[in-house]
Chains A and B, each alone.
Chain A
Amino acid sequence: MTTTARTPLKPAFVRDLLGRGDYAIIGEIVPDGAKVLDLGCGEAELLEWLAVHKGVDARGVEISGEKVKRAIARGVSVFQGDINEGLADYPDGAFDYVILSQTLQETLHPRQVLHEMARVGRHVIVAFPNFGHWRVRLSMLTSGRAPRTSLFPYAWYESPNIHFLTVLDFEELADLETLEVERRYFLSGHRKVTWMPNLAAELAVFLLRAPRA
């Protein structure tokens, strides 16, 4: 592998942040003092971390009342609501970063969500499990059933995932939405994947932005 002075060698591994590799990448991306909205933020662990370590102005949306309760008890401004209705109220460009972490595959209208994220945020971060990973393909090929892997552990009738997508699928959607991909990160476990990500990556993190007029 060759590197030039202008592109220093990136570490091949990411540390966990709050037990998650995608959080570690998001933690790297978001700069100090940014205004951040996390969609489907759960109990707001990531937002709290970003507020404490990066001094961000943190907001979240979460549908589960129990999780919202715990998020607010942490001191993070989260409101209980559906991702779509939540986004609709915000003015254009209200946030520096809008984050959707491992939730896109659970949304009813992923394209609409991505479109709205790019309207509300100057940058968009989407992390999702890659359905094109070789283990998923192998599982389906050998079992003849809906794939079950460590990444997709659910029986099909219990899965919260209602839309399955691969790295290539997401690239295509970003293209359809005329979003510019600023960075791509691919993970297999804690290892960064650089080669054949659609086959080798378990998790993808995209940093995108809408081309501004």
Chain B
Amino acid sequence: MIVESRTVTFDSIALDSGATLAPVEVAYESYGKLNPARSNAILVLHAFSGDAHAAGISPETGQPGWWDNMIGPGKAFDTNQYFVICSNVLGGCRGTTGPSSPDPATGRPYAMTFPVITISDMVRLQKMLIDHLEIPRLLAVTGGSMGGMQALEWAVAYPDRVVAAIPIATTTRHSAQQIAFNEVGRQAIMADPDWNGGDYYGKRPPARGLAVARMVGHITYMSDDSMREKFGRRLRDKETFSFGFDVDFEVESYLRYRGSQFVGRFDANSYLYITKAMDYFDLTNGHGSLAQALAATGARFLAISFTSDWLYPSYQSQEVVRALRSRNCDVAYVELESNYGHDAFLVDVTGQTDLVRGFLASTLERVG
């Protein structure tokens, strides 16, 4: 499968905070072919730490995309049939303008002078990209976790541009628990002296703080079951306790590894900005109620949640489903059995594949 990787620059974007960002770049990849009617485009929206590289093998890094098990020839998002697009979010650090990008006014990275962004700002930029690609209507918008928030925001903000939405393991607004975990991550970064008020570019980055933030994140993405299965109380390369504070347990080793690996590919300030955007997200903003927010959408919905996902529990998906039913919208919903916790949407894709394939095929039939 050919991976098309591109960057587009727009003059400016107006943000929810009142600030304007000028210029703004957006990095995206695409897979498959846009049909002559331009009606087979699917926008895939990445989760918190994802990027535009959703599928195929990156010619740059040799790595498969974060949803490579879902996107490709013959897969759920079949690139023989659909034109799949994925862009890096606004505020990110993987090609789209974010706090690590140079501020044209100073020539130095924005750092903490970068304006605070929201999920709807991210979606506004994606809409500019879709306009630029001259796609009148997206056959589907889809994503898990923060990607699901963007999919919902698309359906609410641009109801006539979306035929179907597939929000997975997501919510219409962050709960106190979700905000709390994000705040722990932010505090870990800001407590690292190397963070230096966000001004660390060209110097030593806040690697320890960012690694701790990621460690907490990883715990929330797994489940008690999946951790017991994967690690149990197994010791790492030893038979007995070290009676010290080096790595004893397998799970400690895993978290440290994941933490340190993350530092190499993610910007600490992006972590702050994007988690804040998630915490601010509330689909009812400016609409009174969820049902009113969804009033204008004519999209079909397929909502999916997972039994062991305690970070984005099923009740949050069910809230959207109920609001859609109260508007008599076309909505399908299922809670899939999985032990993988929140990570299920990335790794446990067998059930997801059947659902998405059937849903997309019937959506395409309706569009004609």
Contact = CB atoms under 8 A, between A and B. Distances in A.
A79 B333 contact: yes
Given A75-B361, A75-B365, A69 B351 contact: yes
B335 interface: yes
A81 B305 CA distance: 13
A74 B362 CA distance: 8
A83 interface: no
Contacts of B325: 79, 86, 89-90
Contacts of B358: 72-75
B130 interface: no
Chain A, interface SS category: mixed
Given A75-B358, A76-B362, A68 B334 contact: yes
A94 B333 CA distance: 19
Interface in B146-193: none
A86 to B, nearest CB: 8
B350 to A, nearest CB: 10
Interface string A66-96: 0011111111111111000010011100100
Nearest to A95: B328
B163 to A, nearest CB: 14
Q: How large is the interface on A (under 10, 10 to 19, 20 to 34, 35 or more residues)?
A: 20 to 34
Contacts of A79: 321, 325, 331-334
Contacts of B335: 65, 80
Interface in B58-94: none
Contacts of A81: 318, 333
A41 to B, nearest CB: 11
Contacts of B355: 69, 72-73
A119 interface: no
B354 interface: yes
A52 to B, nearest CB: 10
Interface string A165-181: 00000000000000000
B221 interface: no
A123 interface: no
Contact count band on B: 20 to 34
B99 to A, nearest CB: 40
Given A72-B302, A79-B331, A79-B332, A89 B337 contact: no
Contacts of B351: 69
B12 interface: no
A96 to B, nearest CB: 12
A65 B322 contact: no
Contacts of B318: 81
Interface string B314-341: 0000100110011110111111110000
A89 B326 contact: yes
A122 interface: no
B351 to A, nearest CB: 6
Contacts of B330: 57, 59, 77
B300 interface: yes
A90 B354 contact: no
Interface in B272-305: 300, 302
A39 B358 CA distance: 21
A116 to B, nearest CB: 13
Interface of A: 57, 59, 65, 68-81, 86, 89-91, 94
Given A75-B362, A77-B332, 15 more contacts: A65-B334, A69-B334, A71-B332, A72-B354, A73-B357, A75-B359, A77-B300, A77-B330, A80-B333, A80-B334, A81-B318, A90-B325, A90-B328, A91-B326, A94-B328
14 contacts: A59-B330, A68-B334, A69-B336, A69-B355, A72-B332, A72-B359, A73-B354, A75-B365, A76-B332, A77-B332, A78-B332, A89-B322, A91-B328, A94-B328
